[in-house]
Structure 1
Amino acid sequence: MATPLGSLRRLLLAPQLHEVSFARRGFPPAPDDGTAARLEAIPQAVVCGFEWGMESRSLWEIERRLDLVDVKHRGFAYEGATMAFTVLDAMGRGRRTHDLLRGPGRPHLLLAYIGVGFAMARLPRVLWKKVLPDLDGSPYHPVMSWLAVDGYGFDLAYFHTRRWVEEQRVPEPYPWLDAPAYFPRAVDQGIGRALWFIHGARPDRVDAAVRAFAARRHADLWSGVGLAAAFAGGCGGEALAALRRDAGQHAAELGQGAVFAVRARVLAGHVPSHTDVAAQALTGLSVAAAASLADACAVRDDRSGAVPPYEQWRQAVRERLTPGTAVRR
């Protein structure tokens, strides 16, 4: 049963289910082939996870609810639950997010970071220092927590498309992991991911949308596109091959995003067929080889520096995907 306070917080902070539809957001019409409905189901799962997170009284309860979600959308529901727990923890005191990600959310950690970013979009910056739980011992923490900034960028582009996509605003830096200069780049990776949804997984439209941005932003935008295309799906192998050609000099960035998507899917224990197709089309690798590549390039050192470990990891993947250097199998 929902608590009165939980219901109030949900109404104030979460988009309503119809608010995430492409028509409601004013996105360009998608082909009448079911693509829009399949893609819309993803933010709808996030909204459901958020609502359950706001209303659940215990970790046991939220786990039971999320287990009811179809496996292909369960990770997205965990994004929403993580968003809710992050908001609750930041606005008060608690370890909900920590306990979730140390427990049932552990396989969905990489998506859960994105949920942290969704919470950041709804919290004042003064509270951001409270959003990242202590997950010492995880091989992905805190290096991969830059995905929270990616999630923040996705949220900005999805819900405020005019400002962040059409007007191409650039956010003020924030010292995430002591690297404020990298913050706008990670936001762009999230904006690129949002472009895949905004343009209904249509490679020609996505390509045009990326090219409309300043050239210096293209590499990170293409990385986000690759992550979305491989994780969320939406088109077949031939269209993805065309997308790779369209990316041109940024094909390695596109592939790097796909590699991270594969790693997240493998970690969660469910790899849908569209992720397999995308791995082959965007990287030339099988799912197993792409996941192995991600692990081989991993940078575990979380010490800050001129180039964040997260970017070092991304760079190593890109180098392996550059023609003449990647090992294909």
Structure 2
Amino acid sequence: MSMLRALRRRILTPSVRETQLETRGFHIKDAEAKHQLETVGTSFLQGYAYAVEARSASQAVDWLETVPRAFRGFAYEGAGMGAVMLGSLTGSSRRLTGILEGEGRRHNYMIYVGIGWAMARLPKFLWPDVTATDPVLRWLILDGYGFHQAYFKTDSYVRNPAAEHPFTWKGGPDAYSARAIDQGIGRAMWFVGGTDPDVVADLIGTFPEHRHADLYAGAGLACTYAGSVDGDELRRFAKHAGDHLPSLVQGSAFACEARERAGTTTAHTHLAAQILCGGRTPAEAAQVCTDARPATCAGGETPAFETWRQQIAATISSIPPTQKGAVA
């Protein structure tokens, strides 16, 4: 059986070469940023492989917990994708459910994103039942879908901003789906642009104005969670955001919440929170997110997820607890 699991891992797991910046044709800012982004990619694939090869969900979690803390969330993201891919073969969602019910509950944001990666690879009839997922957080699945498409189909999703990509799913109103996917595309732009704030801002600038807010929200999450920028670069990126700064800081706050929830907060998280979230600590920015989270989902064309994002943006952008180091 161990040989069979190893074979399953080998067949199902994407090649590490696919995460290398040269392979993807992404911008290389410097050696440090390149190493950071490629380590993110290898950590993702490690988590994917753990979810596919493990005997059980609990063993997968045990393995995932050995990934270095700074990159553990990316491994859980990969595990979300791997669990869904495995489930598409076995006809069971037990691997995904087991990871989410175990230690993975602290990484649920990232696992939901990973589900979206799997959906981008699978035919629709093999998609998981998204109606069984958290009605507020399930929009993160489309964030993952958008990230995957922008990362692997960059010419179509990033370099051709006029291209149309119709999308329909059972998770909520189609009118909002494109916006959630744009949030994932914006997050991927941080990788496409090699963590260079000027390059990323230029990429966003090629898109129609009405898409900028969601793209900056995704990029704000990535620049806080994945990092590889200093304080001056973060301030410059905030300046590029202009009128869309509230969206940028909302994404940054989401990243703080994801890291705080999982216990993977790093020095960079503190730097980004101080500069982008009005001088707040990551814990304070995360608290804004948890306090604002809707208790119920009433339905309608504006999902509770979007209402949540708007409230976070408004709160973070209001008079902060301290102006030290913050973007004015």
Do Structure 1 and Structure 2 share a fold, with TM-score over 0.5? yes
The residue aligned with 1:100 is 99
What displacement does 1:186 show? 0.5
Q: Secondary structure at the match of 1:115?
A: helix
Does structure 1 residue 234 correspond to structure 2 residue 233?
no
- Alignment-derived partner of residue 4 in structure 1: 4
How many residues matched? 319
- Aligned residue number for residue 25 of structure 2: 26
Q: Which amino acid aligns with 1:158?
A: Y
The separation in 1 between residues aligned to 2:107 and 2:309, in whole angstroms, is 20
Normalised by the size of structure 2, how large is the TM-score? 0.92
Specify the code of the residue in structure 2 equivalent to 1:293: V
Inter-CA distance 167–7: structure 2 relative to 1 (3 Å threshold)? farther
What per-residue deviation string (whole Å, max 9, x for no partner) do you get for residues 281-325 of structure 1?
A: 112122122111112221131332120000000011122234xx3
What is the identity percentage for the equivalent residue pairs of Structure 1 and Structure 2?
Answer: 37
Instruction: Please tell me whether the aligned partners of residues 191 and 221 of structure 1 are also in contact (alpha carbons under 8 angstroms).
Output: yes
* TM norm structure 1: 0.92
Question: Tell me, which stretches of 5 or more residues in structure 2 are unaligned?
Answer: 323-328
Where does residue 208 of structure 2 map in the other structure? 214
* Amino acid corresponding to residue 250 of structure 2 in structure 1: Q
The worse-fitting range, judged by mean Cα deviation, of 291-300 and 255-264 is: 291-300
Of 90-99 and 267-276, more deviation after overlay is shown by 90-99
More deviation in 85-94 or 247-256? 85-94
Segment of structure 1 superposing worse, 281-290 or 105-114: 281-290
1:152 corresponding residue in structure 2:
145
Q: Does 1:259 align with 2:253?
A: yes
* Counterpart-to-counterpart distance in 2, 1:267 and 1:306: 29
The Cα shift of 1:235 comes to: 0.4
282-291 vs 197-206, which deviates more?
282-291
| Cα shift readout 1:100-131 (whole Å, capped 9, x = no counterpart) | 10112111111111111111111112332x24
Deviations 1:162-205 (A, max 9, x none): 11111123321323422111111111000000010111111111
Partner of 1:49: 47
- The answer for the alignment partner of 1:138 in structure 2 is none
Show structure 1 runs of 5+ residues with no match.
136-140
Map residues 146-295 of structure 1 onto 2, 5 A cutoff.
146-168=139-161, 169-284=163-278, 285-295=280-290
Q: Does the CA contact (< 8 Å) of 2:9 and 2:49 recur in 1?
A: no
What are the superposed Cα offsets for residues 196-216 of structure 1, whole Å, 9 maximum, x if unpaired?
Answer: 011111111111010011111
Q: CA deviation at 1:262?
A: 0.3
The whole-number CA distance in structure 2 between the counterparts of 1:2 and 1:258 is 41
Residue from 69, 72, 75 that aligns with 2:70: 72
Question: Counterparts of 2:294 and 2:3 in 1: how far apart (Å)?
Answer: 43
- Alignment-derived partner of residue 315 in structure 2: 320
RMSD: 1.8
